[in-house]
Every structure is written in C-alpha cells, then in structure tokens.
Amino acid sequence: MKYGHFSNDGLEFIVTDPNTPRPWINYLTNEKYCSIISHCAGGYSFYKDCRSERTLRWLPENWHFDRPGRYLYIKAKGKSKKAKVWSATYQPMRVKPQFYEARHGLGYTQISTKYNGLLSQITFFVPEHDDCEIWLVRLTNQSNKPQDLEIFPYVEWLLGDYHLELRYRNIMNLYNRVWFDRQHNCVFAKKTASWGDLNIQSFQYEAFFASSLAVSGYATRKNAFLGKYNTEATPRGILEDKFKNISFCSGEDGIACFKHNLKLKPGSSKEFVIILGQTEPENIQKLLVKYRNLSHCHKALDETKKIWKKRILDNIIIKTPDKDFDLMMNIWVKYQLYICNLWSRSPSFYHEGSGGRGYRDSCQDSEGILAINQELTRKRILKIASLIRKDGTSAPGWSDIFGPAGHRPNKDHQVWLTYTVSAYIKETGDLSILSEYVPYLKDKWRGGWEIDPNFSGGPTTDGEGTLFEHLERNLNFAFNNVGERGFPLIGHADWNDAIDAAGIKGKGESVWLAQALVRSLKMLAELAQISGQKQKTDDLLNKAKTMAERINDIAWDGAWYKRGFTDDGTVYGSKINPEGKIHTNAQSWAILSGITDKERLKKIINSVDKYIDGPHGLALFAPAYSKWNPKLGRISMFSEGTKENAAIFCHAAMFMIVAYCMVGEGNRAYKSMRKLMPNVQPDYDLYKTEPYVYAEYLVGPGHPYLYGEGAFTWITGTAGWSFMAGTEWVLGARRDFEGLRIDPCIPSNWKNCFISRPFRGAVYEIEISNPRGVQHGVKEVFVDGRKIEGNLIKPFKDKKVHRVRVLMG
Ligand code: GLC
C-alpha cells in the first residue's frame, strides 16, 4: 500500500511517507478531553465540547497544510557550522528526515523521525481519567559525536468558542490572556469570558502547557516568536537566534513555547514529557505533579493502551476468507465506532465543529455499538428519550454543555429511537428499560431558530412517562403529521439533511420517512406484544399496514419507489425527473421496512444494479443534480457527486447492504461492502483519505474528475451500520428477543467462516460451512455437538464458551 501499511497484528497503521494525500489522523480521547492528531502531529484539542471549549487553534482549510499542531523544534548547535533546525514530527519545517514513521494505534499515536543522527520518538496519548494529553518524548543520539541541542515544544492557543473565532477572529483575540508562571514552570492560558449559547460568563477553564525538563526560556506571543510575515515553518525566534523570553500575552494571538537545553553523548538517550490540557483551574497542579513523573507517564500509557485493546478485542471476532474484511470488522470499525459514540459528528478535520450531538446520529451510533458495549447504549437511550416532548416531537440533538438543541426540526427524528430500543432489548433481554420513567422535554425553542416568548427560563421538563410512552408519542406524531397523500411531512429534511427545501412550506412529504415509520411501528408493535399490551400491538400494526399500503399505492414508480413530493406536489426520485430519478434510500428502506412483494423486490434490485451501482460503490441516487432546484434545496447545489448530491454515501450504501442481506443477496452485499472498505482502495492518490477508517462518502460518478475520492472521514454513521452489516447480517449472528439467531448471508465463494459472538453472558464460537456455495440459508445448526431445531440459540447465560456448527445449503 502506498504511504504506509498495517502492522502485522493489525493494531497499528504505520504511515511511512509524511507526504500523504491528506492528513491521516487519529483521535486520542477519553470521555472529556480529546485530541485530534495527524501523522505529522497537526490538529487540535478540546475539553468537553469541540465548539465552545477548544484548546488549540485549527481551521477547516488547514487540512491543505496540516498546521498548526503539537510541535517540537530541535536545534543542533554546531561549533563552527550554522546550527541545524528541524521538526521532530516533520511538520511544520518539513526538513526531509533520514527516517520517518507515524504509528496510529488504539488510543495513541507515535511519531518517529531521524535527522542529523538524532532519533526522536514522541508518543502522544490522552490518559483515561485526566483532562490532558501527554507527549512522551525520547531523543537518542545515534551519531558518534556529542550533540548540543536546544529543544522547543510549541503549541498555538485558540481558547474558547471556535465558531466565534471563525466570525470574529480579530475580536476574540482581545480576550486572550496567556502567561508563564515561574513557580510552576508552566504556561497558563484562558479567555476572560466564554459564550454559552446565549449567555456570557467568565471563562471556567484554564489551559496549560508544561514540560518535565528544566525551562531555560519561554514564549507566549505568536507574533513576537514567529517574527514578521513568518509562519511556523520559519520561526525567527529559533532560526535567527532571536528567542526572547516573553512571559505574558494579552489581547493577541497566544502560543506556548519553551526552550530547553540538552546535551547528549553518542549513544545516549533522554526521555521527557510535555503536558498539555484544559480543565478546571483547581485540577491543574495535581496533573503537573503526576505527569512530570516519567514512570507515571509510562504507567498511564500502558493503562490507556490496555483499556483500548480490551474495548476493541475483547468481544466479537470474525475469521473469513477475506483478511481485509476481518481487519476492518475486528479492529478498525470498532475503533471508529467508539469515536463516533464518544463525540458524535462534531470534532473533525473537515467539519464545522458545531459541538453537541445529533439525535438521529446518536440513535444509530448507540445501536451500532450495542453488541460490544451495552452500558453505553442504555445510557444514551435514556438521554435521548429525555429529548422527546409531550407532543411527540424530538429536539434534534443536545450538547452536554448547553442542553437540548432547538434549531431546524427535521421531521425524521421521531422514528429513530425505537430501532435502538428494540435492538437493545434483543441484545440484552432487558425488557424493564421500557418501563423506566423519563422526563418529557419542555424547551425554550418554538421551532426554527425562534425562542418561545413564553419560555420563562423555568422548568425544562414537562412531567414524565415511561420509555415506551415516549416512543409511542414519537410514532403517533410521525403517523399523524402527514401531508395530502398521507406520507409524513418532510419539514426541514429527513435522513438526508440536504433535501431541506422540499417541505419548508409545510406540505412536502417524504416516502423514505413513511418507510422508516413503518419499520418503527412494526418494531414498537413487537415491543408492545412482548410486554403484553395486546391492543397497542394491534393499533401499531394497523398503522404500519395503513402506511405500507399508502406507499405501495402511491409511491411505486414502475421499477422502483419514488422518494417524495415537494411543497407544490412535484415528485422527486421518479422516472419523470431528468435528474435524481432513483434514490437508493427509498429502495433499501422498502426492504428494511418489509413493505415490498417478491415481484417489486426483483425490480428494485435490478434498478439499483442498473442505475446506482458502479466501480466505486452504490451512489445515493442517480443522476446527480446539475443545477439548483429551489424545490429541493441544498441537495441540488453541491458539486455533482459530492456530499448529498449523489455521492457514494457510505452510510446509505450500508442501508442497501443490510437490505441485500435481508433478501439473501450475499454476493451483492459483500461486493458492495468491499468497494467502500478504506483498506482495499485501488488507488490512494485518488482516494486520498485514511486507509483505516471509513469516509463519509466517496465522490460519485457525476463529478467531472474526482470520482472515487474519499471525503470527511471518521465521524459517520457508516461505522455503526457497517459493523452491524458485517457481523449481524453477513456473518449473520444476529440478536433477537428469544436468543441469538444464526442466519448468514455470505458471498457464494466463501466455503468457511467464523464468528465468536458474546451474547447475554455466554460466548458462541460459530463455525459456518458452506460446501454447496450458497449465499443464504441454514440447513443445520449444532450447539455443543447437539442439533437444534431451527436457527435460534436460546441464551445459555452460563459464562461459558459454546461451540456452534452451522451448515448452509
Ligand atoms: C451526515 C449526518 C447524518 C445525515 C447524513 C445525510 O452524515 O451526520 O445525520 O443523515 O449526513 O444527510
């Protein structure tokens, strides 16, 4: 693979060429402090919320340059010759090293370079329980001469609200205070005020930067340190021997930089630590003492590695004839899924970083991670349920700092939580969650961006009800809030955020949402049934039937399902549309919701083959919109093939892959999945993004020249759906109310495969053999040598390992 490769055990991706087509990044994080780091140490950090509490500066356009970052300048003083200066992580000086390597691992990144006979190795990590990041540095003199060195660790502060920074760059600096504290040998930094949503308050946190080496110099002002018209690539303070101690920065761009003197004999090494963080001021001293102690740092690093390894490896493991597929499922998809669950869609190298968590995204992330972390899902379900109002609508998201979000209510939020709850009960068998009492939300938002004038700032809850009641109100709202054809109103968009004009006048309808609603009504009916509520079961099933009939009557287009109707009644996603004729979601969800008969199913599959599939995977729809369509909105305005305008949107492609598996199309499912896998892309100069995590999308065929380029990696619903597609559907070890169902749907040329699946207190080691080369269909299942009826394994709950043999055919 060009630019790098996986380690033999698959636990690291090793970048071997710093000039990758895009920065290839890692997330080092615990639940509160997160640091995003590229293969050259570029990127930023934040505490609790990536919008309002940013520590380091980073702007979205910066991925072109991959700066600024966490830097360590090294200066080797020569006796007679001019001093040599370089950067230990290649950036920002980009002096060509004799050796370069960046290892992105689970919870750490290690960057090593060698230059001028000096090997530097920096391991970056975020300890599990502290609000800081650690750079554990080791310098080794591999030359045969003594080295007289000056070392300059360096960061640039953002401090505070990133969105305000983008708008009011010149003003936000005026709030900065950065100072060197002699007593603690530490640079502290803060803004005088912080802006929470609508309130201004005094900045609660303090950022800090410290080293375990003796400090012989310090700098806090960017302009003075870099010099006129200079960038981090040519800091005058270092290159021209103009380093001046500057202990205080007020009202301008702040940095933190130290000067350390270090002499290294041939063959000798020096290890030290840099500590960077942001937290409540009273915590800082403790962190400095703890992490200036090197042995403690090593302990914390080992602990962090151990925790991540356990999270990732100590659960589902698969073995198939495709080792690349195994590597994704066993390690990297799980890791990506954790990051999505921890931080939702905000912190990225590409996104706007608006902070908080989306409702729809969180429902899917927490469903995706269920098989490997049920506690997290349970916590999320109850949190998300508290965003449901008594009228059955849901707030579109929340921030742990500012509370529920209140802008632009999409109309689809109501359908998502039922899937997650149903999956949770199937995974755990814990029906009691349905009768947990959860408050109803009473919020200050009247809809749109408007605040309700009657909002008194008083209680934010409106009584309480059981989780089941919340879900019921959700679905009743979705069922009743329909347009003239009886499909749910699309409002400010549905799953597809960019169909944002179709329903702004309150009339546009979404066929996809109608299908999604059928799926949730059926799932809630199952929950009603197993909790003994007969009448509710019937009522929900009737509603599902009514909606399904409507879809089949009105939305069938001859060879596929239409996608919706705009405010003025114009159809979209239909054969009569010159562009956006066929949308994949309306086909995949026709299958996921089980509304289609055999004949239509065949037609859908043929249409997807014909119009949607291509060498780089399944597109979101076809053809792309080439001009602005004010009836649809933003979807038609993106460059053809990018984002929601007919990209190969991996998340939506996964919907189709699961749908393929539901109808026994193992070859199609696997082929489509492989095209999206980041680790088997045919050309990384075209694909560009990380080979170890999914992109949100690959540019689609409508684009004039970028077809196949990866975009917006890491934080995407693809991770959750891909994990479910691979383990629950392709390998087919699937949670169900009564136990674990074994129902693989594999490519016909797989003769044998294996999945180890922990489930309700036991582990099932499932060997699947497929001697007759079928794609689907289980002939016999043996559990611990005994043949069982059907393909459902009743939970053993005995903490033991059980051997399961599955014969397909
Ligand atoms: C992004 C959003 C997701 C949305 C999708 C399609 O991935 O995070 O919520 O469904 O785009 O618009």
Using one digit for the tens of pLDDT, what is the confidence trace for 161-209?
A: 998 998 999 999 999 999 999 999 999 999 998 776 556 777 889 999 9
C-alpha R_g of the chain:
28
CA of 498 to the centre of ligand 1 (A): 9
- Tell whether ligand 1 has an atom less than 6 A from the beta carbon of residue 720: no
What CATH number should be reported for the domain holding residue 188?
Answer: 2.70.98.40
pLDDT for residue 653 is more than 80: yes
Last residue of a domain, which of 444, 459, 481?
Answer: 481
Residue 707 lies in a domain: no
CA nearest ligand 1 atom 9, residue: 361
What CATH number should be reported for the domain holding residue 737?
Answer: 2.60.420.10
Phi, psi at 109, each rounded to 5°: -135, 130
647-670 burial, b if ≥16 CB within 10 A, otherwise e? Answer: bbbbbbbbbbbbbbbbbebbbbbb
Which residue in the list 497, 557, 567, 613 is annotated as catalytic?
Answer: 497
pLDDT for residue 678 is more than 90: yes
- Tell whether ligand 1 has an atom less than 6 A from the beta carbon of residue 361: yes
- pLDDT at position 443 is 80
Residue 628 lies in a domain: no
Interacting residues of 803 by C-beta distance below 8 A, sequence separation 6+: 765, 767, 783, 784, 785
CA nearest ligand 1 atom 10, residue: 495
- pLDDT at position 241 is 83
Q: Which of 340, 352, 365, 497 to mutate to test the pocket of ligand 1 (most atoms within 8 A of CB)?
A: 497
132 and 237 share one domain: yes
Measure CA 679 to chain center: 17
The residue whose two tokens read 């990732």 is 312
Instruction: Give 661's pLDDT tier (boundaries 50, 70, 90).
Output: very high
- pLDDT at position 197 is 59
- pLDDT at position 664 is 98
- pLDDT at position 534 is 97
Q: Which of 336, 361, 412 to mutate to test the pocket of ligand 1 (most atoms within 8 A of CB)?
A: 361
Contact 522, 593 (CB under 8 A): yes
Structure tokens, 201: 């308050």
CB atoms within 10 A of CB 551: 27
236 and 124 share one domain: yes
- Tell whether ligand 1 has an atom less than 6 A from the beta carbon of residue 253: no
Structure tokens, 406: 């209140």
Using a pLDDT cut of 90, give the percent of the chain over it: 89
Query: How far is 390 from 173, CA to CA, in rounded Å?
Result: 43
- pLDDT at position 433 is 98
| Atom from ligand 1 closest to the CA of residue 498 | 12
- Tell whether ligand 1 has an atom less than 6 A from the beta carbon of residue 696: yes
Q: Which of 343, 634, 651 to mutate to test the pocket of ligand 1 (most atoms within 8 A of CB)?
A: 651
**In 30-144, where do the E strands start and end?**
33-38, 45-47, 54-56, 71-76, 84-87, 99-105, 108-115, 118-125, 132-141
Last residue of a domain, which of 433, 460, 481?
Answer: 481
Interacting residues of 49 by C-beta distance below 8 A, sequence separation 6+: 346, 355, 356, 399, 400, 401, 402
- pLDDT at position 401 is 78
Structure tokens, 554: 């009105």
- pLDDT at position 402 is 77
What is the rounded average pLDDT of the residues 391-419?
86
Least confident of 396-405, 632-641, 690-699, 702-711: 396-405
- pLDDT at position 59 is 77
Interacting residues of 15 by C-beta distance below 8 A, sequence separation 6+: 3, 4, 24, 39, 101, 102, 103, 104
DSSP-assigned beta bridge partners for residue 36: 27
Instruction: Give 794's pLDDT tier (boundaries 50, 70, 90).
Output: very high
Q: Which of 217, 182, 205, 189 is nearest to 73 (CA)?
A: 217
- pLDDT at position 209 is 98
- pLDDT at position 202 is 78
| Atom from ligand 1 closest to the CA of residue 358 | 9
Measure CA 259 to chain center: 37
Query: How far is 491 from 501, CA to CA, in rounded Å?
Result: 8
Query: How far is 304 from 108, CA to CA, in rounded Å?
Result: 8
How many distinct structural domains can be found in the chain? 3
> For the chain, percent helix, then strand, then coil, each to nearest 5?
30, 30, 40
194 and 264 share one domain: yes
Residue 385 lies in a domain: yes
Provide the residue range defining the domain that includes 472: 356-481
User: What are 477-497's pLDDT values in tens digits?
Assistant: 999 999 999 999 999 999 999
410 and 270 share one domain: no
Instruction: Give 605's pLDDT tier (boundaries 50, 70, 90).
Output: very high
- Tell whether ligand 1 has an atom less than 6 A from the beta carbon of residue 644: yes
Residue 592 lies in a domain: no
CA of 496 to the centre of ligand 1 (A): 6
CB atoms within 10 A of CB 110: 19
116 and 182 share one domain: yes
Sign of CA dihedral 527, 528, 529, 530: positive
- pLDDT at position 444 is 75
383 and 301 share one domain: no
Using a pLDDT cut of 70, give the percent of the chain over it: 97
| Atom from ligand 1 closest to the CA of residue 696 | 7
Last residue of a domain, which of 279, 311, 343?
Answer: 311
User: What are 246-286's pLDDT values in tens digits?
Assistant: 999 999 999 999 999 999 999 999 999 999 999 999 999 99
- pLDDT at position 403 is 82
| Atom from ligand 1 closest to the CA of residue 712 | 7
- pLDDT at position 184 is 95
Q: Which of 359, 364, 495 to mutate to test the pocket of ligand 1 (most atoms within 8 A of CB)?
A: 495
Residue 49 annotated as catalytic? no
Per residue, the 3-state secondary structure of 196-245, as one string, reads ECCEEEECCCEEEEEECCCCCEEEEEHHHHHCCCCCCCCCHHHHCCCCCC
299 and 432 share one domain: no
Query: How far is 489 from 160, CA to CA, in rounded Å?
Result: 38
- pLDDT at position 81 is 75
299 and 385 share one domain: no
- pLDDT at position 78 is 78
pLDDT for residue 104 is more than 90: yes
Contact 460, 443 (CB under 8 A): yes
Residue 195 lies in a domain: yes
Query: How far is 397 from 471, CA to CA, in rounded Å?
Result: 16
**In 743-783, where do the E strands start and end?**
752-759, 762-769, 778-783
pLDDT for residue 449 is more than 60: no
pLDDT for residue 510 is more than 90: yes
DSSP-assigned beta bridge partners for residue 491: 410
The pTM for the full model equals: 0.97
Residue 429 lies in a domain: yes
- pLDDT at position 194 is 77
Contact 585, 652 (CB under 8 A): yes
pLDDT for residue 339 is more than 60: yes
- Tell whether ligand 1 has an atom less than 6 A from the beta carbon of residue 345: yes
What is the rounded average pLDDT of the residues 342-350?
91
- pLDDT at position 745 is 98
| Atom from ligand 1 closest to the CA of residue 360 | 9
94 and 176 share one domain: yes
Q: What angle is formed at CA 284 by the lines to CA 283 and CA 289, rounded to 5 degrees? A: 110
Residue 720 lies in a domain: no
288 and 392 share one domain: no
For the chain, the average pLDDT equals 95
What secondary structure letter does DSSP report for 447? E
DSSP-assigned beta bridge partners for residue 219: 257
307 and 239 share one domain: yes
User: What are 31-55's pLDDT values in tens digits?
Assistant: 999 999 999 999 999 999 999 899 9
pLDDT for residue 540 is more than 90: yes
- Tell whether ligand 1 has an atom less than 6 A from the beta carbon of residue 494: no
What is the rounded average pLDDT of the residues 201-223?
94
Contact 304, 128 (CB under 8 A): yes
What is the rounded average pLDDT of the residues 573-582?
98
CA nearest ligand 1 atom 6, residue: 496
CA of 362 to the centre of ligand 1 (A): 11
**Is 19 in a helix, a strand, or coil?**
coil
Query: How far is 544 from 527, CA to CA, in rounded Å?
Result: 14
- Tell whether ligand 1 has an atom less than 6 A from the beta carbon of residue 412: no
- Full DSSP string of 610-645: III--TT---SEESPP-S--TTT-GGGTSPTTSTTT
CA of 361 to the centre of ligand 1 (A): 7
- pLDDT at position 352 is 74
- pLDDT at position 399 is 85
What is the rounded average pLDDT of the residues 449-462?
70
- pLDDT at position 456 is 65
702-738 burial, b if ≥16 CB within 10 A, otherwise e? Answer: bbeebbbbbbbbbbbbbbbbbbbbbbbbbbbbbbeee
Residue 501 lies in a domain: no
CA of 730 to the centre of ligand 1 (A): 24
222 and 300 share one domain: yes
